[in-house]
Structure 1
């Protein structure tokens, strides 16, 4: 993609964002001043903010306003088809410097790359109108002959800032910022300035001061020093020697007291050693007699123990016998108690009654169960139909029975004889004349009889009527009077039985839940009756054995009484044996206690042996008359000596700890006698050590004076560099201003203190050492004290002792307006005119960056920078910014709600938003302004065939991107 430029420009020509932030695919011209306009919160700042991912190495170095760096990284690189692309023109050709996302599965990380070729937005869309993932894009570029090289962030830093002129040892020089003496330190200074140009981060006065020092750091030999550390190092030998003398003098009395305690400790140790040897020898003789007495008591104790064991065995045997009798008694008593309970419970019933109840309940249960089974088979409608049919049959049979009994049937009322009935039975149904007489209705009495006799009556099986004759002889006559009253009554009874069953089935079918509850109640009653039957059976069994059980129970009770009587007497015998054993044990314990006491005496003597000096000589020299020898007095004296030695040892340990704490070089003497000897020798050298302090103090004065003088000289150098820097700034014309100057406001109290120390401290003699804790006097000495205190308060106030070059001055800004008015401000933001402030800020930052760049570089690439709310700057100041930006090699990107006409390009973001609220900026959206005539928009240049191919339908592209994103998310989740 090419655009017509005003002149040949090295550096950034175009910048593109693909599926990044709010931009679906946007390309911005960077070969001339650009204005990005639109409503707030549409993404005007995203293009410049996102450049930080390419220019800076770490997220901690980037600034995204109120947003966290990790959140911004996920915002700009949501997937593996998200790109930030920068087309750069260098003397070695056109390159694409960019970053691509790695997707959510990689934590929305990104990777950097550089490709040799021009930026063609059509490369990022595949034939089906989807954004290509980075791997597919790199393959596509490879097929087109575009070489791509992946870079680490450190390699990208070295490449962009000229620290490493070639990419991965190749032949590409893609230096955008040719820093002089490029290194990590130089890059950090540039990053601090350029980040402010990209994001408009507000810098405070202290940060600007730090920035100024970093920019001119190469001209300064030492920008700071740790005053406390330098002072401590300069007077280190003096402090150590002074501390040694003070501690030795302070511990003089302790050393003398330690020697005295040590002498007393040695004397008592010798006495204790003699007494311990004497006690051990005589104690051995006394201990030899104790074992014989203990052995006799042990034998007697064993014999009594065995006797008591036999008594206990007899006791256990009889106790087991008693347990069995008790168990038998409990069983018999339980049977008799059960018999009484059953007799009382079943006194009002008998076996026949229970069995009869069981049979009745069983029949009812069977009937109801059958009804429930029928209810499961037939529904209510079926049972009701069968019930109605049965009732109808019963009515018919009752009517027939009544007709037979009364003789008032239809056939009987007509007066037919048997022969006539036989003939009529050949043609008529047999049950027709079983109808009741009321079924016949005649207009004229006898009409039915006459018709039957004339029309239906046959004679001897022949029916002769007018026109035909029918032979009915093959049809046997039927008996119209075959109904038997007994049979009819039997049939009626059968139907009534069926009717009762059907009524029960209907009732069950209509309320099965109630009937099932009734069935369960019947089952429970049957179970209860069966339980009663079992109790009656058990009662009969217990009654049969009642006599035998009572006889056996009486015998068991007598046996238990005998056993209890024997146990009582036997228990007394065991208690007597136990008392005998207790007496023997008491005697044995007394003997053992006596032996133990002798051992205790011996142990006390042995415990103290380590603290005493061993007494030499044969045992006979230490033997005493045992009848007169008092072991207690000897032991008490020995314990007193031991306690005295412990007390003296603690006192000596306390003295030793205090002495070694202040005189640590004595700690190498592990032996106390050596430590006492060397401590006494150190006291004798105290006068000579005081003489050495004077020489050490003079050496410290010289070292501190040199360090402060070096810091003061660096401040003079910085003033000179700032003066040169101000000349370069004022060489650029700024409208409404006659001049602008960066001022170093001297911190007079601190500088005066440094000058005082530098001019006087070297001449201080040993009487002026109160600066370091010594005594002294004089007028000049008071000035030195004030100077030292002032510096000490400055570096000790949360500063870790560091005295920085920045402590010697404050940053100020002086502006001289065209009317001659001079305005002095501590910060740029205090300037009265906002337009002037926004004009001076970039001028200051541009000058600092160009101060960092290599003036001998082949070219000076253009860098983009960002200015927000440009509408608040008047057109004259806007043109001034454009002028010195062009001169210093920077491309301004203005942001405002309304378009800015002083620039070359303008893009209205509000007109580039598609249906998905994503921004889509193409070359057709660039508005060009020609400033050779009146300011007016001009038509965009005709697009080449390649540019037309790169344009895609926004709506179709958005839909395709959503599908591709959904697929990518599905793959990531799998």
Structure 2
């Protein structure tokens, strides 16, 4: 969008610049170290807006300032401006040291063309050549009053109507000039100068320049005092309010997260519920299996108890039998089986002989029978004596000294009658016993 006003600023051999070109259409921020020409570049705008150099403000005296910006006749300050009638260029040219480094202003129609001021070697053209090239563009020299008229549209402007400072009254330009000069040096104004500056800006808007607060604004003053007290109270809780606002912002942020979190929670709840139901089903199946296993184990336990009771009863019987066997073992500890078998065989032979004798006794006489009875009684007495002497006979003494195999052979080699003889003072004596 095109806006009426300066669009470009060009410096040719002016100040610290051999050639400088600055776009003014958009806001501009100058950044750089000190003493490279930032302030002097901004102050150049005074040559466009202020008609009389006596009302300009620079960091040096005006004579030094002119020498700084216009060291020779080839020094130019050019301002390309978009006006209601099209583009115009307002220029300022130095007049050189012979004329005290003064300057003159000029204007011509159209946009800035570097070829009007620079040759093909990028060197500044001579003054006459420049004016000759600009003559076709309605070139005019401007006096300070004519520049003023061109800016404001009031007075003789020699056909140059810039319209950069539209005003209704002629004296308003002095106010603009003062405001513009103070804006350029705003950082250097004192407090009282700043107040006067603001009053000067709005001078036409005030009906009176002084206000009696006590007379005309006592109620408003009290209101202001009350509001000031309230403001102090607010400042006292400002930190708390900031903290509350911060927490409120955090709360709002968390609230914005709640729908998403709720959806995520519901999805997670659904997944967890499904997993729990599956686990519950598995647990119930396991409980059923464990119940069946428990019933089976209870049945086995009952059966085991019955078997245990049966075994205990059998064990009791076996204990009784065992006790009886132990008693009999104690009773027959010295009973010699092989010896008794030998004696039993001997008795069976005697029974056989007795049977035979009984068969013969049928035809025997009483004397013969009586003689046999006497003989049998003697044998019975002998047998009773051997029974009494059983614990101290030769067999009871010898057999514990022999191995089982030798004990079986001894009854085959030795006469059982001999093994049945008693030992001791009234019987036989065994010599050469093993130690």
What band does the TM-score fall into relative to the shorter chain? Answer: 0.3 to 0.5
Using structure 1 for the length normalisation, give the TM-score: 0.22
Using structure 2 for the length normalisation, give the TM-score: 0.47
- From the CA coordinates, give the structure whose radius of gyration is larger: 2
The structure, 1 or 2, with the larger RCO (C-alpha pairs under 8 Å, 6+ apart) is: 1
